[in-house]
Every structure is written in C-alpha cells, then in structure tokens.
Homo-oligomer: A and B are copies of this chain.
Amino acid sequence: MTKKIGMIPGTGKQSQGIALRLAQAGYKVMIGSRSSEKAKTIVEELNTKLSVSSFYGDENKEVVKQCDILFFVVPPEYICSTLEDLGSDIKTDAIIVDVIVPLTFEAGLAYCSEDMCLDQFDYPSVSEYIQATVPEGVSVVGGFKTISAAKLNRLNHPLDVDVFLTSNSQEAKNDIKGIISKIEGLRVLDAGPLAFSRTTEQMTAFVININKLNKLKHASFRVISAAPKKQK
C-alpha cells in the first residue's frame, strides 16, 4: 500500500519546494491549508508549474486524517495551536516530518537558541516538542531544516545537498529515507536521535548567517568524507 504524503500546510515556499521536489520524484502530494479553497488554488498552481496532476488538496484537518506521512511546515508561532487543533486527528501510525525552525533576527543575523523553544513550550527543540505532544504511536522525524526554501524552489537545479534526519524511531527514519532519497541530488544522512534537532535547528541560523557574511548564494551543508578505500 502506497503511503499518502501531505503538507501541513502547503502554503509556504519551504513547503511548496519540498512538495515540488517530491512530485518531481514521482510522488502524489496532498496540499493542506486552513481553507479547502486556498488548498485547491495552490494545487492548481503547483500542478500547472510542473505540468502534472500529482497534487491534490483539502483543508489541513482532512490532510491529517488521510495522510500517513505529514510534513509539518507551520510557522513557529503556530506550532502549539496547530497541534491543539489537529493533534487528535493524526493517524496513530503516522510519521511527522518536522521541518520547522524557530528563527529570530537581530542586527541582520539569524539566531535560533534552545531558549526560544524553551520559552514557547519547554522543550529544547521543535522536534522534541512535537514528539512529546502527538498521540502515542506517531513518530517524528526532523528533516529539511537546514535546506532553504529558495534552494528547494530552484527546480531546474539539482539539489546537491545533504538532508539530516533525526528521530527516536529508526523505522520511521528509514521510511522517510526511502521516500526522500528519490529526490534528485538529495543525500539522506542519519543524524541520530531527535535531540539532535537542537543542532539542525541551530545550524539553520548558522548557515543563513554564513550565506550573508561570506556573500554566498543558497548556502547549504554538505558532509564531505574520505573516499572509500576501494576507490583509491
């Protein structure tokens, strides 16, 4: 049985970038929004953009009820209220891919500290908060946090970037790896348990600043390593 993939919501650029890359990789993607009309407008735009019929949509509540894989891309300030509204409708064996990074900007630089999360919901990372809040059985996987919306939306460029997956469920991590590794140019790396979303959330602010301070464009992380021995 094919797992249904949905975006909560599909309104932002980060969310649409991931949705478009998934559609390019051959997946159908359900687009959520607060209103079903808005969802349908976006669906039409995205289908037109790729000349496909891979996208369909409805209000967020329906997406949550129907999908097995939910990309959570809500603005940080709505994390708590979104989970209050939708949490009980999440399928008990669903996987949530948490893409959220709580950023603030000060003197032109991005910051993401554990403090911001702790102020908001007593957990040092968004991923850990979501995992602690969703119904039992639901697994959270942190991912895509360090990849910018701009980069995801440059559809004529292969991504050429690493995605770092964090989760306390190895099975959920493997499931998500199986799905997203079909996206061209995306290497999937296991980054350990969910607590390491603290690091990926901070790395997002970090790479935004590196981009700016060093006059780069679309900066992202790649983990480089020594060539395996047999290739020498």
Q: How far is the CA of A226 from the CA of B218 in the complex (A)?
A: 6
**A108 to chain B: closest residue by CB:** B192
Contact B224 A160 (CB under 8 A): yes
CB distance from A211 to the nearest CB of B (A): 7
Contact A226 B221 (CB under 8 A): no
**A191 to chain B: closest residue by CB:** B210
Identify which of residues 199-220 in chain A touch chain B, using a CB-to-CB cut-off of 8 Å: 199-200, 202-203, 205-207, 209-211, 213-214, 216-220
Is A87 positioned at the interface, with any CB of B under 8 Å from its CB? no
Q: A203-B203, A210-B164 are in contact. Are A224 and B228 (CB under 8 A)?
A: no
CB distance from A174 to the nearest CB of B (A): 12
Contact A217 B226 (CB under 8 A): yes
Q: A199-B206, A205-B199 are in contact. Are A109 and B218 (CB under 8 A)?
A: no
Is A189 positioned at the interface, with any CB of B under 8 Å from its CB? yes
Contact B222 A221 (CB under 8 A): yes
Q: A189-B210, A209-B196 are in contact. Are A225 and B221 (CB under 8 A)?
A: no
Q: A191-B213, A214-B190 are in contact. Are A219 and B228 (CB under 8 A)?
A: no
Is A113 positioned at the interface, with any CB of B under 8 Å from its CB? yes
Q: A160-B224, A198-B113, A205-B199 are in contact. Are A190 and B210 (CB under 8 A)?
A: yes
**A206 to chain B: closest residue by CB:** B199
Q: How far is the CA of A190 from the CA of B205 in the complex (A)?
A: 13
**Chain B residues with CB below 8 A from A218, complex form:** 225-226
